[in-house]
Structure 1
Amino acid sequence: MGYWTDGAKRIGVLGLGRSGRAAAALLRLRGFTVVGMDSSPAVRDCADCAMLVIGNEAITSSLDGLDGLVVSPGVDPASYVPAAAGELGIPVIGEIELAYQNSDSPVLAVTGSNGKTTTAEWLAYTLSRAGFEAIAAGNTGYPFSTAVVKHPDADWIALEVSSYQLQTVETFRPVGAAILNITPDHLDRHGDISRYVDAKAGIFINQDGDDVLVLNRDDPGSVPLSGRTSGLEWYFSSRERVNRGAFVMNGTIFLTDPEGEVPVIDTEDLSIPGSHNISNALAVVCLAARAGLAPAAMVEGLSTFPGVPHRIETLRELRGVTFVNDSKSTNPDSLRVALESFRAPVLLIAGGLAKETDYRHLRELVESRTRGVILIGSAAGMLSEAWSGSVPVWIEGEMERALERAVSEAKAGDTVLLSPGCASFDQYSNFEERGDHFRTLVEGLE
């Protein structure tokens, strides 16, 4: 038993979104008294909270009576309330750390700037098809705390973790961890790329012995993380052989170790297309191998995985025009990956709340892969300035008008692609809501 597992304490949960409410449910199950806290007056209930404190002033006043504070991923641990709790000597952790300390299931963790949801879900699917009880959780939208409550005896947790979640780890130690790629993201919170990289390093900071860190040999952004783990270091590459890990040679994925190379599957037999998904599959192979899965047992999962909603998800075809939902594209690099996945002419719907980065580097790709760009959200003006002159650009502001423009401009053989390259928070609660709205509008087309 430990401080965060044995109940009989009064614990605040700061931020009552999906992760916060999941933490509250786990704490209540373990016998803690839960004080729900949120700055938004729109929060009116918390089923697992003994009391609810709303507003920053009231929250600050209530800290004195707490034995601990759990912060949701959206709460910066350096912000006023967690910092004030620390000054009062109140232990502060995040939801991932809370769930980890209350779980008996081994964790295979995935992080990266792009591709982590697909990889975590694909890993869980592959392990499940091989006979394990494997649960995809974390930043996938299914909180780790919920997985602990509902699946206490799971064989494996395939856990997607974000840089926000990794800022608050203490004892978190996955037996296998993959960092898919590192590109500038969330710099408004981390300050600069070095702090962002350091946050990502939290995924392996406690690893040791036979724990495995998997790095992308093809990704320059991951280079600073090499040599920093106290566990084993594996690699994956679609361009060259690696001594331990997985690589592609002549269209076949191989798993390799000091004893030799074993073919796993041809890349053309992977269930979801795109060069980025070859990289994701390589990471899945590495982590599945760490879980003890033989290469032959990986094939079914790798070849039948249906993909994830909101990530290059084909919705329908209407009069020869294909409509694709890539609402999970929340940064320029994920937009790049999406555009590189298509050869057919693309009408791109992009925009939202821009990241603190320059989008002009995508100008050449936009020119070569699209025949028009339709912009929404607060970033529309900035993106128009970055891309105008390369292709026709229309500023429509909202999703309904954007889709109307796309339908009026589209020709048979075109792809209408929602790949915003921006966060959703200027117009939607999250990227799922944005993607669901696009899906509903597309399904209503006649």
Structure 2
Amino acid sequence: MLELKNKRVLVVGLGKSGLAAAQFLKERGARVTVSDARPATLIAELPSLLEQGFSVEAGSHGLLTFRRQDLIVVSPGVPSSTPELVQVRALGMRIIGELELGAQYLQGEIIAITGSNGKTTTTSLVGEILKAAGRPTLVGGNIGRPVTAMVAESVALSNNPSGAEAPVLSAPQDGRAEARPLQSGTVWSVLEVSSFQLETIETFKPRIALVLNITPDHLDRHGSFEAYATAKARITENQTADDFLVLNGENKAAQMVAAKTKAQIYWFSARRPIKQGVFVHGESILFVAKEGAIAEPVMPVSEVPLAGAHNVENVLAAVCAARLAGVSSEVIRGAVKSFKAVEHRLEFVREVRGVKYYNDSKATNVDATEKAIAAFAGGVHVILGGKDKDSDYATLAPLLRERVKTVITIGSAAEKIERQLAGVVKIENAETLQRAVAKAEELAVAGDTVLLAPACASFDQFENYEHRGRVFKELVQAL
């Protein structure tokens, strides 16, 4: 655990996690400076920060400011290639992220979930299952609360334990898994973690780590798919033989993470039986606690309340994590059946004159958009576009030909999308989301589906994907 009292600490980036980290550091006696490249006029929290005694640098990053610190804490949105970070890293200065900082202080056990798609749904579902089992549970990380903002509650829950024994699987010397109880009332922190956060870990070690899938994303920041996949794989970097790694048995890049871990490996698959983990057989979801054990039924696939084959995979991963954490199949089944779709993830908005509108604003990469379109049999009018992430939209062509009537483009990536998909399907350029919804209403007939699944980041026209999704829903409600 870091000693922070009287240390000079610089927080770079004043998004949600940066602000949380700054407050966390100050509460522990650090001498905190915050630095954000945005002009001061765009930092709404600036007056409050100054009033609380923070040193603030805005409009640019100063190299001298960086060099005068004992520790630098970087927000996920700040690229590691930022020139000042590159220079002080070369000088041997310690640079960590908000995830690493907060995780060192969290009490209890961590379940960490990463992947190109499905992170938020799976993280939320695991949290709901653990809560249904009566376990003291916190959910956050890349969604909801920053990790540093979870620490105080984890300490409070740990000091006032409640809940049942939490048996988890353990690895004796013979390598076979068996049940081992944790201390009664153990606090579980369920964290969604991104490649940006994993870039800056040092000691971060989840008891249970999940890699849902790895497909091309954020190539504009990581530079290559290989670098992106390497960042994802760091989730298991510090795990030991007493920990667990849950991997997608049908995703090649996720499978390759198996070679990089010391943890016990569990798999999930919706396509075939597996020796250790969770899979679909016929109409049932089954769990195998260890190789050679009898598969136990968890629930029928028909009881999964979420649309799309990709959400079946998300449920399988959540089931595996929950069983490893000692939750009974009965509790898991009840929690999954009552789970509601997360906002902006293939979220049904409204039916207007026989046309159904769905909001999947969280589909910020091509693979996520492909999964969203695949959830519908046909008659789809899909809204694509936003800020390009160096993506290849041509990979969507076969599915577009099969199920999509119209592609409606918006944002700065529109020209690239139109060029790569020329001749594949009818394309309409709407420029803005407002015009796209109007165009979709004009084109769609009863029985069709209008789907917002942009395959792009939102930052060219919106604050984030949540803002984009809310605007879409407001436009649909106004039809």
Q: TM-score range by the shorter chain?
A: over 0.9
Matched to 1:99, the amino acid is G
Single out whichever of 252-261 and 204-213 deviates more from structure 2. 252-261
Q: Equivalents in 1 of 2:53, 2:325: separation in Å? A: 37
Which of the numbers 124, 129, 151 marks the counterpart of 1:126? 129
Single out whichever of 182-191 and 311-320 deviates more from structure 2. 182-191
SS, match of residue 434 in structure 1: helix
Matched to 2:119, the amino acid is K
Q: After superposition, what is the alpha-carbon deviation per residue over 1:252-303, rounded to whole angstroms, capped at 9, x for unaligned?
A: 1111023321100111101212210111011101111121112122111111
Q: Equivalents in 1 of 2:114, 2:102: separation in Å? A: 17
Give 2:176's aligned residue: none
Instruction: Give 1:136-147 correspondences, 5 Å limit.
Output: 136-147=139-150
Give 1:85's aligned residue: 88
Which of the numbers 115, 120, 125 marks the counterpart of 1:117? 120
Give 1:50's aligned residue: 54
Give 2:326's aligned residue: 292
SS, match of residue 121 in structure 2: helix
Q: Equivalents in 2 of 1:221, 1:67: separation in Å? A: 37
SS, match of residue 31 in structure 1: coil
Give 1:407's aligned residue: 441
* Alpha-carbon spacing, 1:343–1:99, altered in 2? closer, same or farther (3 Å): same
Give 2:75's aligned residue: 72
SS, match of residue 178 in structure 1: strand
Q: After superposition, what is the alpha-carbon deviation per residue over 1:104-161, rounded to whole angstroms, capped at 9, x for unaligned?
A: 1311011111111111111101111121222221112421122223443272111111
Which of the numbers 444, 456, 461 marks the counterpart of 1:422? 456
Which of the numbers 28, 31, 34 marks the counterpart of 1:30? 28
Q: After superposition, what is the alpha-carbon deviation per residue over 1:341-392, rounded to whole angstroms, capped at 9, x for unaligned?
A: 0125111111111221321121121121111111101111121222233332
- Verify: 1:389 aligned to 2:427, yes or no: no
Q: Equivalents in 2 of 1:271, 1:146: separation in Å? A: 31
TM-score (norm 2): 0.89
Give 1:96's aligned residue: 99
Q: Equivalents in 2 of 1:303, 1:81: separation in Å? A: 49
Q: Equivalents in 2 of 1:183, 1:307: separation in Å? A: 22
Give 2:303's aligned residue: 269
Identity across the alignment (%): 40
Q: Equivalents in 1 of 2:135, 2:13: separation in Å? A: 33
Q: After superposition, what is the alpha-carbon deviation per residue over 1:322-345, rounded to whole angstroms, capped at 9, x for unaligned?
A: 111000011110000000001251
Counterpart contact for 2:305–2:339, Cα < 8 Å: yes
Matched to 1:90, the amino acid is M
Q: After superposition, what is the alpha-carbon deviation per residue over 1:75-100, rounded to whole angstroms, capped at 9, x for unaligned?
A: 12232222233344432100000010
Counterpart contact for 2:285–2:301, Cα < 8 Å: yes
Q: Unpaired segments of 5 or more residues in structure 1?
A: none
Which of the numbers 201, 209, 224 marks the counterpart of 2:241? 209
Q: Equivalents in 2 of 1:110, 1:312: separation in Å? A: 20
Counterpart contact for 2:383–2:409, Cα < 8 Å: yes
Matched to 2:287, the amino acid is L
Q: Equivalents in 1 of 2:444, 2:90: separation in Å? A: 59
Give 2:165's aligned residue: none
Counterpart contact for 2:13–2:78, Cα < 8 Å: yes
Q: After superposition, what is the alpha-carbon deviation per residue over 1:15-72, rounded to whole angstroms, capped at 9, x for unaligned?
A: 0011101111211222222211101102251536611111335x32222432211000
Which of the numbers 149, 153, 162 marks the counterpart of 2:194? 162
RMSD: 1.6
* Alpha-carbon spacing, 1:282–1:145, altered in 2? closer, same or farther (3 Å): same
Which of the numbers 215, 219, 225 marks the counterpart of 1:193? 225
Single out whichever of 401-410 and 5-14 deviates more from structure 2. 5-14
Counterpart contact for 2:21–2:98, Cα < 8 Å: yes
SS, match of residue 226 in structure 1: helix
SS, match of residue 235 in structure 1: strand
TM-score (norm 1): 0.95
| Shift of residue 14, structure 1, vs aligned partner | 0.1
SS, match of residue 171 in structure 1: coil
Q: After superposition, what is the alpha-carbon deviation per residue over 1:297-328, rounded to whole angstroms, capped at 9, x for unaligned?
A: 21111111102111100111122111110000
* Alpha-carbon spacing, 1:176–1:10, altered in 2? closer, same or farther (3 Å): same
Which of the numbers 357, 366, 375 marks the counterpart of 2:391? 357
Aligned length: 442
Counterpart contact for 2:106–2:154, Cα < 8 Å: no
Counterpart contact for 1:377–1:426, Cα < 8 Å: yes
Q: Equivalents in 2 of 1:142, 1:336: separation in Å? A: 29
* Alpha-carbon spacing, 1:87–1:387, altered in 2? closer, same or farther (3 Å): closer
Counterpart contact for 1:276–1:337, Cα < 8 Å: yes
Matched to 1:107, the amino acid is I
Q: Equivalents in 1 of 2:424, 2:223: separation in Å? A: 32
- Verify: 1:370 aligned to 2:404, yes or no: yes
Q: Equivalents in 2 of 1:63, 1:162: separation in Å? A: 25
SS, match of residue 150 in structure 2: helix
Q: Equivalents in 2 of 1:103, 1:294: separation in Å? A: 25
* Alpha-carbon spacing, 1:74–1:404, altered in 2? closer, same or farther (3 Å): same
Single out whichever of 147-156 and 250-259 deviates more from structure 2. 147-156
Q: Unpaired segments of 5 or more residues in structure 2?
A: 159-186
Counterpart contact for 2:307–2:346, Cα < 8 Å: no
Matched to 1:119, the amino acid is T
Q: After superposition, what is the alpha-carbon deviation per residue over 1:377-408, rounded to whole angstroms, capped at 9, x for unaligned?
A: 11111212222333321101001111111111
SS, match of residue 459 in structure 2: coil
Deviant stretches of 4+, over 4 Å: none
Instruction: Give 1:242-281 correspondences, 5 Å limit.
Output: 242-258=274-290, 259-281=293-315
